[in-house]
Structure formats: C-alpha cells, structure tokens
Amino acid sequence: MPAAFDDLWIGQVASLGAGVVSETELAAFCKTYAPHWDVTDGLPDALIFALWSKLEAEASLNWPQTKRLAVDALRWSRNPPPGELLRGRLTVMGKDAVGDTKGVVIAQNDLLDEAGRLVFSCLTRSVFQRNPKAPKPDEA
C-alpha cells in the first residue's frame, strides 16, 4: 500500500507480510516478559502484539504515512502454537482529508493463522500525505 491518501480507497486490502515465532523465541520471550505463562498455551498476547507491530512497521517503511495517531480495539481471538505461520493484513475502513496536505486513514489490522482464522485484530488511525494539488490555471 505505498500510496498517498488520495490514492487509497475504502475496502482496499494490503499485506503486512508474514512471520513465525519459534519455540526458542517463545521461551526467551516468556522467560523475560511472561515468566508465569505456560508455553503449552501457545503464544502469549503480548508476543502476538509484538509480532503484529513488527510486521506493520516493516510493511509501512516506504508508505507516505507520517504519523500513527492511535491503535484501538485490540482483540485476541486465539493463541497459536509456536512454529505456525501468521500473516498480517490491513483493510482501509475509512479516510478523512485534513486540509490539502494530509488525511487520516482508519484501518482494520488482522493477524491470521495458517488456516485463515483470526488470531489478533486492532484498529489504527494514521496520518498519510496527500497528493500535491495541481496549480490552478490562473496560478501558473
């Protein structure tokens, strides 16, 4: 989705990429951040959020997104086991122009497991650059 605000449309879907958390990574995370989490219960919620955050950050590196305003409505549907491929997607749910140079994009973000089941979702609000306006004929 490397597109300016004006080029995005409601319902547009973009891939955020995919990732796998290994048993070793799960054990290291739990040792440091969730020492009471039973690794047989799958990935803890905080690790799922961290994976989504990493995928979203890497996917948006070259987007004309200038600022993240909010991450809301976080939901965890399941805790997949380590080694399962999780893929991220973003769906544009709404957009609102804010002047001539920027606009706010509201997006649904999902992490899905190998079977396509929802693992995690959240809403984001981000500022995107707008396309430059063409000069008016009397301004040229």
User: Coil, strand, or helix at residue 96?
Assistant: strand
Which DSSP symbol is given to 43?
S
pLDDT tens for 62-97 read: 888 888 899 999 999 999 999 999 999 999 999 999
The pLDDT value given to residue 1: 60
